[in-house]
């Protein structure tokens, strides 16, 4: 027992010494703490104190639970097509907007409101400074660190759209809780970065080149879009709506079949259409209208047929030799001139076609 106790004491001392040494090393949490405080002070003269930094590793499927839907969601773009995300809760966002518009952070909780693209543009300098400072802190304190070079990309409406734009399976999530101003507001900044795979050591063998990642444009144009087709709009009293039952019929004007509306996910008009069928399937034919004009398609380029030039040398004349048993009428026909180019181009002899000549000779015989 005495030996085990002695070893336990030694292990605790070694662990404490190692912990004191590790605290002097740079870590992602410490780099974010320093970079955020420095960026806020440099850009906005804002006294920002980081209270806690929580680091988690999550799969992409847990994105909505990790970030939530409140506040401002931003898509980040890095080197080699890498993408990340950043979220500001309503209090953190309100503090950054207030210090830029009024010069100070107002005390008390701010009322929650939908974030706008103006908000995103106002906080973009701080986001870029934070990400650049994070790379600088890590490069200066961690040997062999490769800068991620992330920067502000675009504002995203919700976590569903954000998950469609992200392409890595696992992410490092940093929840940063900070006090803005002298205790005026407490907000949270969440940073989502793809897990960085350590570079494999070169052993002299050739490694197959990895294909480049698709850019955000490729992801955007291939993202699924939900469209609703509204046949007609009917105004009814509320009591009639409450009386709806399965099987009831609502009268619709016949003209509605030709004025069907294609609506987006938020109820905005995308295009007008007509109802119909294609190969037994129900379909809509999009039509251009003043309310929803469709883009004009460019006419396909037509290839002109190649020009056929007449040969420089004249076609030799074809003669019909006299045969004893051929009637005199046929012999009187004399020489037949055949121009193979006259049928398609008219030639010098007019628009005559060689085929009628052949038929007329056969009739005379």
DSSP secondary structure, 288-352, as one string: --SSSPPPPPPPPPPPPPPPPPPPSSPPPPB-----TTS-HHHHHT--B---TTHHHH--TT-S-
Same domain, 120 and 269: no
Residue 2 lies in a domain: no
Residue 323: what pLDDT? 46
* Backbone phi and psi for residue 343, each to the nearest 5 degrees, phi listed first: -65, -40
User: Is the predicted pLDDT of residue 15 greater than 90, yes or no?
Assistant: no
Residue pair 262/275 in contact (Cβ under 8 Å)? The answer is no
Residue 309: what pLDDT? 58
**Which tops the pLDDT comparison, 297 or 146?**
146
Same domain, 37 and 78: yes
**Which tops the pLDDT comparison, 44 or 312?**
44
Which among 179, 197, 215 is the end of a domain?
197
Same domain, 118 and 167: yes
Average model confidence (pLDDT) across the chain: 75
Residue pair 304/295 in contact (Cβ under 8 Å)? The answer is no
Task: Measure the CA–CA gap between 245 and 253, rounded to whole angstroms.
Answer: 21
Same domain, 99 and 153: yes
Print the domain residue range for 78: 23-197
Residue 96: what pLDDT? 95
Residue 344: what pLDDT? 40
Residue 319 lies in a domain: no
Residue 218: what pLDDT? 66
Residue 133 lies in a domain: yes
Q: Which residues pair with 105 in a beta bridge?
A: none
Residue 274 lies in a domain: yes
Tens of pLDDT, residues 314-330: 555 555 554 444 444 44
Residue 290 lies in a domain: no
Residue 240: what pLDDT? 87
Residue 346: what pLDDT? 44
Tens of pLDDT, residues 174-190: 999 999 987 899 999 99
User: Is the predicted pLDDT of residue 333 greater than 70, yes or no?
Assistant: no
Residue 50: what pLDDT? 92
Q: For the chain, what percent of residues have pLDDT higher than 90? A: 27
Same domain, 57 and 193: yes
User: Is the predicted pLDDT of residue 359 greater than 50, yes or no?
Assistant: no
Which among 250, 281, 312 is the end of a domain?
281
User: Is the predicted pLDDT of residue 300 greater than 60, yes or no?
Assistant: no
User: Is the predicted pLDDT of residue 207 greater than 70, yes or no?
Assistant: no
User: Is the predicted pLDDT of residue 157 greater than 50, yes or no?
Assistant: yes
Band of residue 20 on the pLDDT scale cut at 50, 70, 90: very low
User: Is the predicted pLDDT of residue 10 greater than 70, yes or no?
Assistant: no
Same domain, 229 and 188: no
State how many domains the chain has: 3
User: Is the predicted pLDDT of residue 348 greater than 60, yes or no?
Assistant: no
Which CATH number do you get for residue 107?
3.40.1550.10
Residue 32 lies in a domain: yes
Helix axes 90-101, 28-44, angle to 10 degrees: 30
Residue 179: what pLDDT? 92
Tens of pLDDT, residues 238-295: 888 898 888 888 888 877 777 788 888 777 888 888 877 776 677 778 887 766 676 6
Residue 314 lies in a domain: no
Residue 215: what pLDDT? 65
Residue 263: what pLDDT? 85
Same domain, 95 and 165: yes
Residue 31: what pLDDT? 92
Band of residue 338 on the pLDDT scale cut at 50, 70, 90: very low
Residue pair 328/348 in contact (Cβ under 8 Å)? The answer is no
Same domain, 166 and 27: yes
Same domain, 122 and 173: yes
Tens of pLDDT, residues 29-62: 899 999 999 999 999 999 999 999 999 999 988 8
Band of residue 196 on the pLDDT scale cut at 50, 70, 90: confident
Kindly provide the b/e burial profile for residues 245-270, where b requires at least 16 CB atoms within 10 angstroms of the residue's own CB.
eeeeeeeeeeeeeebbbbeeeeeeeb
Tens of pLDDT, residues 76-118: 998 888 899 999 999 999 999 999 999 999 998 888 889 999 9
Same domain, 265 and 355: no
Residue 332 lies in a domain: yes
C-alpha closest to that of 119 among 46, 70, 81: 70
| Token representation of residue 135 | 């790379």
User: Is the predicted pLDDT of residue 336 greater than 50, yes or no?
Assistant: no
Task: Measure the CA–CA gap between 33 and 300, rounded to whole angstroms.
Answer: 58
Mean of pLDDT values over 336-351 = 42
- Distance from the Cα of residue 247 to its chain's centroid: 42
């Amino acid at each position: 027992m005495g030996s085990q106790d002695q070893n336990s004491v030694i292990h605790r001392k070694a662990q404490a010494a190692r912990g004191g040494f590790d605290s002097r090393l740079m870590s992602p949490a410490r780099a974010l703490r320093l970079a955020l405080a420095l960026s806020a002070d440099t850009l906005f003269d804002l006294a920002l104190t980081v209270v806690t930094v929580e680091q988690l590793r999550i799969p992409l499927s847990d994105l909505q639970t990790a970030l939530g839907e409140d506040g401002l969601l931003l898509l980040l773009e890095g080197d080699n097509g890498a993408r990340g995300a950043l979220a500001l809760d309503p209090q953190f966002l309100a503090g950054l907007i207030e210090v830029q518009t009024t010069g100070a952070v107002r005390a008390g909780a701010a009322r929650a409101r939908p974030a706008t693209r103006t908000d995103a543009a106002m906080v973009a300098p701080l986001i870029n400074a934070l990400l650049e400072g994070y790379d600088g802190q890590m490069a200066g304190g961690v040997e062999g660190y490769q800068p991620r070079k992330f920067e502000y990309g675009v504002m995203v409406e919700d976590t569903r759209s954000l998950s469609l734009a992200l392409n890595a399976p696992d992410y490092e999530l940093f929840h940063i809780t900070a006090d803005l101003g002298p205790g005026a507001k407490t907000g949270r900044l969440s940073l989502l970065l793809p897990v960085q795979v350590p570079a494999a050591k070169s052993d002299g063998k050739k490694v197959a080149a990895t294909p480049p990642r698709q850019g955000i444009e490729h992801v955007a144009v291939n993202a699924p879009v939900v469209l609703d087709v509204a046949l007609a709009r009917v105004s009814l009293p509320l009591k009639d709506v409450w009386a709806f039952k399965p099987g009831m019929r609502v009268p619709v004007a016949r003209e509605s079949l030709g004025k069907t509306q294609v609506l987006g996910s938020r109820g905005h008009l995308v295009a007008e259409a007509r109802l119909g069928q294609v190969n037994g399937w129900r379909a809509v034919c999009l039509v251009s209208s003043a309310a929803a004009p469709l883009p004009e398609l460019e006419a396909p380029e037509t290839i002109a047929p190649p020009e056929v030039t007449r040969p420089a040398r004249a076609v030799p004349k074809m003669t019909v030799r006299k045969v004893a048993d051929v009637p005199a009428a046929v012999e009187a026909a004399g020489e037949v001139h055949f121009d193979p180019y006259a049928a398609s181009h008219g030639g010098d002899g007019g628009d005559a076609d060689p085929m009628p000549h052949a038929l007329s000779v056969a009739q005379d015989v």
